[in-house]
Amino acid sequence: MPAVLLLPTGKALTVRTAADAFLDSLANPNTVRNYGIAVGKTADRVGEGRPLASVADDEIGEALELLWGSSAVNTWNARRGAVLSWTSWCTERGYDGPAVPAWAKRLPPPDSDTPVRSKMAIDRLIARREVHLREKTLWRMLYETCARSEEILDVNIEDLDLAGRRCPVKSKGAQPKVRRRGAVRADYVLETVFWDAGAARLLPRLLTGRTRGPVFVTHRRPGPGKMLSARDVCPDTGLARLSYGQARALLDQHTALAGPGTGWDLHEYRHSGLTHLGEQGASELMLMAKSRHKKAENVRRYFKPSPEAIAEVTSLLAPGDARR
């Protein structure tokens, strides 16, 4: 007869106790090993000695983003799925605890189509009165720069060239560098992104009264237990840098029509901006320069000439006298 594990209830149940109990309940050794990576690292991130009931949903989402937000889609989905199984297991047994937030959603496979939002839909969303100036500015910058969300969120005020409508961003390099013993390290390089009149009008309003620190900050000061680097805190207001998870949750809040987690994704601004440029006839080389992709095949999905452009090029095939 298998041993019965009696667990404390309520706030006496710690994160580590809940994690260990969940992993002990799994029969398949391979599942234990794979789930152990996700659950163990997430528990460490949120604080394994804390009462499980004190952990908020968003803390689980933030931990997932920090640990695997830049990983491959399949890795993100696997780690998220393991943590979701853990939190669901706790809920089913009546333990007070967090859930995986709706904004930390499962990502579509790499070969699926990312939605392209129309320019009109993007303009209408940003123009809505209930949308805060911070979100308006972030979304406009993401669309006009076609930059990755993490790159824009990492920008500080000191980096901005407001007159030139540009700034450097820390981007992943084209070639990973190999450390000793064969370990691979992602290399980062500084690259320049450019924005247009929309973001240029919003940025000065957003930065009123601030000259240093993160461009995009939270509306509340971080709690006493949250450790942040000096670069991630505004020295004038004490507000922390807006995280990717928080930014994604805010976008979902304003765009979800079928419940939490069904709204737009931040990556759709980059995808839509590049697609619109391709539709307007931007060359493949210009799309590569704008997106900073290193391989031509990665930008070909955006190379979608408009019907007018196709009609114009088709006219070149007409008989010589037809074009006179």
Catalytic residue numbers, as ranges: 148, 177, 267, 270, 293, 302
The tokens for 321 are: 């006298």
Residues 6+ apart with CB under 8 A from 212: 156, 157, 158, 234, 235, 236
- Scanning 207-266, the segments in alpha helix (DSSP H) are 244-255
Separation CA 198–CA 195 (nearest Å)? 8
Residues 6+ apart with CB under 8 A from 292: 171, 191, 193
Can you name the residues that pair with 178 across neighbouring β-strands? 184
Q: What is the DSSP letter of 173?
A: -
Separation CA 154–CA 255 (nearest Å)? 24
CA angle 142, 254, 167 (to 5 degrees): 15
